[in-house]
Amino acid sequence: MSLMESYVSHFRPDIDRISGYVPGEQPKENGIIKLNTNESPYPPAPGVEKILREFDSAKLRLYPDPVSQDLRAEISANCGVSIENVIAGNGSDDILTIITRCFADATRPIACFHPSYSLYPTLAELQGAPCVKINLTENFDIPDDVLKQAAGANIFMIARPNAPTGNLFAMEKMEKICAEFNGIVLIDEAYADFSKDNCIGFVKRFPNVIICRTFSKSRSLAGLRFGYAIAHEKVIEGMMKMKDSYNVSMLTQKLALASLWDKRYFEDAVVKIKASREALMLGLTEQKFSVVPSETNFVFAAPPDRNGKRYFLELKRHNILVRYFPDCRTCEYVRITIGLPGDMAGLLSITKGIYGS
């Protein structure tokens, strides 16, 4: 009997049963315009490059600061909270994993919207926790009976702005959920830097709210892996017990801090991306696309024939990679990351060729 044939799974059945999260493609070929994973088209702040160049590699012999003190101090000052309200993570996916392990199990379900970030149901599956999926309305808005549907869950994971749809749920609806849901409300603000408002103020009003943010999108640091969460000090204290001891590398702590120091560069990049977003939304609307109003660095849009897959494949043929979600709620659409202005113009002109308008 070969070693393969003699294999017996000792995994928890939960793990054997699921397929796991599928991240967007990172193509190896050159010459592809990559608009599929919401990375920034601009380089990180110049200060990041400087720190990296001057970094003394001999320091890597030592463990990093386990609690990312300097970085959390800077974040807390920027967010108007104290350092006890901040936890640092290896990307916000690490924060989401910590939260899942803290608040979900077989008797403590996770609630989330559909369509939304598909990692939430995957985290529930990995944890052996039931997942309560709440369908968004026709316009991808929160349904009126949301609290009734979410009742019984211990944690409600909400991306605001939502992904992959890009729209921003009304502040009043978020407030009502935070005030009335009997459990933790995780507000995933991965795209909040591109939106007109955010929920950070909720942390001072609701002890059950966690806000999480990432440096992967607006700060051009997806490859570095840094994210953080803001919440009541008791919530952060519990999460600190759960995290890996050294979950944020020494280089990550230094480079993320350098990114925060360069405020002007960051703000300019966000302004440029928002301008390109408005131009893309207008250009697609003019070509009879149905475009979801975006408050993010991507646009979720359905072509005139409402065949998302065909548009995805046509763009791919022209070396433009966008994201297509085959699920029946999203299959009429594609999600297009905002790239450089020239890439957006190229996409619009190729689109004209495809639909002959």
Ligand X SMILES: *Cc1c(COP(=O)(O)O)cnc(C)c1O
Positions in the binding site for ligand X (CB under 6 A)? 38, 91-93, 117, 159, 163, 188, 190, 214, 216, 222, 227
Phi and psi torsions of 120, nearest 5°: -60, -55
Burial 218-256 (b: 16+ CB within 10 A, else e): bbbbbebbbbbbbbbeebbeebeeebeeebbbbbbbbbb
- Which CB sits closer to ligand X, 92 or 330? 92
Closer residue to ligand X (CB): 225 or 283: 225
Contacts of residue 52, defined as CB under 8 A and 6 or more positions apart, other chains included, come to 251, 255
Q: Cα separation of 257 and 245, whole Å?
A: 20
Name the strands in the sheet holding 155-159, side by side, starting at the edge strand that comes first in the sequence: 86-89, 227-231, 209-214, 184-188, 155-159, 110-114, 131-135
For 158, the token pair is 């909400």
Query: Minimum distance from CB of 31 to ligand X (Å)?
Result: 25
Nearer to ligand X, 287 or 322 (CB): 322
Q: Is 110 helix (H, G, I), strand (E, B) or coil?
A: strand
Question: Minimum Å distance from CB 166 to ligand X?
Answer: 10
Q: How far is the CB of 93 from ligand X (least distance, A)?
A: 3
User: Rounded to an integer, what distance in angstroms lies between the CA atom of residue 260 and that of residue 307?
Assistant: 41
* Beta carbons within 8 Å of 191's beta carbon, 6+ residues apart: 38, 159, 161, 163, 166, 217, 218, 295, 296, 297
Shortest spacing between CB 212 and ligand X, in angstroms: 7
* Closer residue to ligand X in complex, CB, 253/351: 253
Minimum Å distance from CB 297 to ligand X? 10
State how beta strands 155-159 and 184-188 pair.
parallel
Our CB check for ligand X shows the closer of 147 and 222 to be 222
Among left, alpha and beta (phi > 0; psi -120 to 50; other), residue 227 is beta
For ligand X, the closer of residues 102 and 256 by Cβ is 256
**Please, are residues 297 and 40 in contact by the beta-carbon 8 Å criterion?**
yes
Smallest distance, Å, CB 53 to ligand X? 24
- Least distance to ligand X, CB of residue 10, Å: 29
In whole angstroms, how close is the CB of 24 to ligand X at the nearest point?
9
* Choice between 38 and 85, CB closer to ligand X: 38
Q: Distance between alpha carbon 15 and the CA centroid of its chain, in Å? A: 23
Q: Helix %, strand %, coil % for the chain, to 5?
A: 40, 15, 45
- Judged by DSSP in three states, 38 sits in coil
Q: Residue 283 or residue 323: which is nearer to ligand X going by CB?
A: 323
